[in-house]
Amino acid sequence: MPSRGNYHSQRYEYASSASVLINKSDKTSPHQLNIVSGKITGTDCTVLRDTGCTCVGIRQCLLKPNYFTNETATCQMFDGSEKKFRKATAFIETPFFTGKVTALALANPVVDVIVGNIIGVGDQPNLN
């Protein structure tokens, strides 16, 4: 098992057409998401902890062909629409969770890895 690396927190603004991550019309909001560094099978990546999500999503181009399963998952998006994603397994190292996950392959996510409410996840990043 790879050891934890040094993770550095960064703050970015993102919006997505599939769901709402930021309400830019809300002038009282800081309009920022806490994006941290992590690794997927040893490759550096950006990570977002999404407490409104019930799975893990990984940028599809970071997944090797042999990581994909023959399964798909149907997910309900923020606006109530449904979308199908291919499933894959991969080893991730993040400040919120480290281990092997079954994830959804995302074509164009706002970050490389989105960590939702999965068993063993922590809400506060472990930056050590």
CATH of the domain at 87: 2.40.70.10
Average pLDDT, the chain: 80
Rg (C-alpha) for the chain, rounded Å, is 14
Domain count, the chain: 1
CB atoms within 10 A of CB 114: 21
pLDDT at 75 > cutoff 80:
yes
- What are the structure tokens assigned to 98, written together? 């480290």
Answer yes or no: is 16 within a domain: yes
Domain that holds residue 99: 9-22+29-115
109 located within any domain: yes
Whole-structure pTM value: 0.75
User: Does any domain span residue 2?
Assistant: no
| Mean pLDDT, rounded, for 38-65 | 94
Q: Is residue 102 part of a domain?
A: yes
Residue 95 lies in a domain: yes
Structural domain contains residue 106: yes
